[in-house]
Structure 1
Amino acid sequence: ACLSRLELSALKFISGLNSGLISGLNLGEEKIMSEKIRFSVVCVCLILSFAVMPSGAAYAKRELRGKIYMVGEKDEDIPSKNTTIRIEESDDSDVSTDTAAFRLFIKDHYKTDETVTLKVEKPGYQIWQPVAGKVRIPANLENYHEKVRLDKLGSHRFMSNQAFAMLIENAARESTKTVSKSDEKPDLSRYLKEWAVKYGFGIDDVKTEMDKWAADIEKRQDNLYELGLAAFYRKNFKEADEKFIDMANLPVDWAQTQYNLADTYFAMEDWAKAAECYKNVLKVYPNYKKAIERLKLIREKR
């Protein structure tokens, strides 16, 4: 009753074959031949069914799996169960289990290495790690588990160099979209206020810490991208443009070479040289997760 077109075609073909083969046979031979051909029909239909059946892998769901934790007083991880987590861009959501586990469906149009933003619904908390809830889609989702760490609003942990860099990066990108005249300057105040409210701070506290962040970058002078962001934060827009242009002129091959050297030094346990090379990579790719993670490991080992 549910035969496909291929199966129906096979039946018609074998039925014709049946008629041709059994013509001229006596009654006993005809019965035997009919049974053989009927068996052949069943076999062919089964083979065709498997041939046209979609593989499980083709229809396997792409899921981002992980666990949600709250950060305790001693930096310990406390499982956060019954917590709603969602992907902001697609609104796909899940509620964490009693073991704090979650699964989020990743739509097909999101490709490997694209970034999605995670959001949680838990009063008094926000996502601390990954920073700003930003997650890159890994190539092998089946073997990947994202660790989402929540912290209380107003926690000093939110005021990190990486968080400030991402804040200004986003503010620079979004604010320049609203500038309609050549002499009009981007307005960062709105984005700073939104960030302060989101993470439970007063705007003056945020500005104080960001002033320190910018001053530290300007003192170090070792990261063109961060220097551009600091200049943008200071509203030195011409200087910011110059830094970004200088960074864009750095060859990609150089960054790859630096990363390869860093891995070599890391394997040799030459932490100082490894750290220097990883920092060079971040001059070109400031949010490159592997380099950031390696630098963190180096700080723990030194």
Structure 2
Amino acid sequence: METFKGVFTPPLFLQDPKTDFLIGLRGLFVVQSFLHTFLLVFAPASVVHSTNAQEVLHSSTLHKALKFVSILFWNDGIIYSAFILLSARTICLPFMKEKSKLSIAGSIFRRGIRLWFPVAVALAISTGVLHATGYKYIDDFAEKTGNISILVPYKIDNALIYFNSVFNLFWVTTRFSEQAGSYAFPGQMMWVINVIYMQSFTVYMTMVIGLLLADVTTNMDFKTKAHRGIKVWRSIRCPSYVIYTGILAAGLVMQYLWAAWRPQYRDDELIAHGGLYYTGGLNEDFDAKQPQARDDNYLVLLGFLLWVETSDMVQWALGNRIFVYLGRRSLSKYSQQT
């Protein structure tokens, strides 16, 4: 039994007060997730990438300002990208704390269980509630309110469909959002768990995704070095926060321009990405209706995470009790632990 002790012992790094800011960061995106879902149902025109917002013919100054607020505080692309990036940031920490085969084996063993149970329970509860209340009322509500941004969840009729839906969430390796488990869940965002689970094995086996940020903060004293600034010439140093702010601003400007100025160009940057599964050339065969890996989301999150990793004030703000409480009790608790 001593041999398998590391496999069954849960990691302790998330119980370290020094990592409270990471848990609080999850809590921050939990709040943003709630705002996005709530507003998508009751005020869809205020959600920047919703169908209702895209149908607005006139774009007043107030509406443009609302789009900018939406980009900052309830942006679906940034929210789902954040959970995926946070998973990559934290998943390799147990191995970096204890570099042994048992730490990797324990992470792989626990990951599936910690993800499977909350997903199965959440999908069972949502399916039960929808069966009890009926599905038609969602269509009726959308029609009466003019909400064209929400979809009626896929109906799971029996236990076999339910089992297959949960199973596929841990099996599908492409087109993650096009599966029953995601379509059947309110908000159709369960696919994020699928991506995080598949990402787990990429990190476990190759230690590439998220390793750079985790490694420099854990092993290279990144915070102290960042405070010194970047040497430009002789004794002249550029404050590191200038770089972070530039990266963050670049992402926000891209987001805003494609939301309020030229929305028809929003998906053009996706063509420049390499086709992951079918070609090494331009990504010309993408479905704009599906979630995509976008440069603007990445720049926003990278700039913000660099601020988080190096600023004592930001870490203190994120480490407040409310955000930490929400972060520990969200589904992301299971998707970030290893």
TM-score scaled by structure 1?
0.24
Structure of larger gyration radius = 1
Query: More strand by proportion, 1 or 2?
Result: 1
Name which structure has the greater RCO, CA cutoff 8 Å, separation 6+: 2
Larger fraction in helix: 2
